[in-house]
Amino acid sequence: MRTDLIWPDTADEALLSALHRVLHAVVAAGGAVGYLDPPGREESDPWVEETLKAVRDGDARLAVARVDGTVQGMGLWRRGAAPIFTHSAELGKIMAHPEARGLGLGRLVVSALVDSARSAGIETMTLGVRGNNHGAIGLYESLGFREWGRLPNRIEVGRRRFDDVRMLLELGRPTDVILHGSEPGGPGWSPKIT
């Protein structure tokens, strides 16, 4: 078995079809990747094209995992949209086709995306994961992510509600960056109302 990654910035019909195959199968198996029902091509193709435009603009990277030449997994990071958030990125759509589970594709994809984001100057990577996805949480923790918050019962799947676990990984900052945190003063500051 040979596993490799590709980093597309455009997609032909074959890649669009392959990515749809993975996304559709993951959602059909109950995967928590942002869809309630398996999407059709009319949903997945525009998402891929929009993501790849962000890749070409330097605001995202899409990692596609192949096993023996067949697309079996993917994931991406995307910069924050507002100018004050371009030093951070959200990790998302981390998935492996159900027939490829257990091959380490999640670790391969996430590790490569972290390295890619670091090389692109991203300082902080965040993600959201469904609270009952203990395997994914364990994977992220093993790669250095830590939980910074939890929105109780925020994710709706039919009549069920699940926690939205928020995690982050600090990737490093330039030496001249001043970390102001929550200290008083600076742009946007206001005194505490008592």
The model carries a pTM of: 0.93
- 118 vs 157, which has greater pLDDT? 118
Domain count, the chain: 1
Per-residue pLDDT of 93-127, as tens digits, reads 999 999 999 999 999 999 999 999 999 999 999 99
Residue 82 domain-assigned? yes
Question: CA distances (Å), 29 to each of 32, 108, 121, in order?
Answer: 9, 21, 35
pLDDT tens digit sequence for 28-81: 998 888 888 999 999 999 999 999 999 999 999 999 999 999 999 999 999 998
CA dist 147 → 9, 32, 121, 151 (Å):
31, 18, 22, 11
Task: Please give the structure tokens belonging to residue 134.
Answer: 């203990």
Within a domain: 152: yes
- Residue 116 inside a domain? The answer is yes
Question: Alpha helix locations (H) across 7-133?
Answer: 13-28, 41-56, 105-119
Which range (9-13, 71-75, 113-117, 190-194) has the least confidence? 190-194
Question: Is there a domain that residue 8 lies in?
Answer: yes
Residue 145, domain CATH: 3.40.630.30
Average pLDDT of the chain, as a whole number: 95
* The pLDDT of residue 178: 87
Domain-embedded: residue 177: no
Instruction: Please indicate, yes or no, if residue 184 is contained in any of the structural domains.
Output: no
Domain extent for 133 = 3-170
Query: In this structure, is residue 103 part of a structural domain?
Result: yes
Does residue 175 lie in a domain region? no
Q: Is the pLDDT of residue 191 over 90?
A: no
Cβ-proximal residues to 164 (8 Å cutoff; 6+ apart), any chain: 128, 129, 130, 131, 150, 151, 154, 155
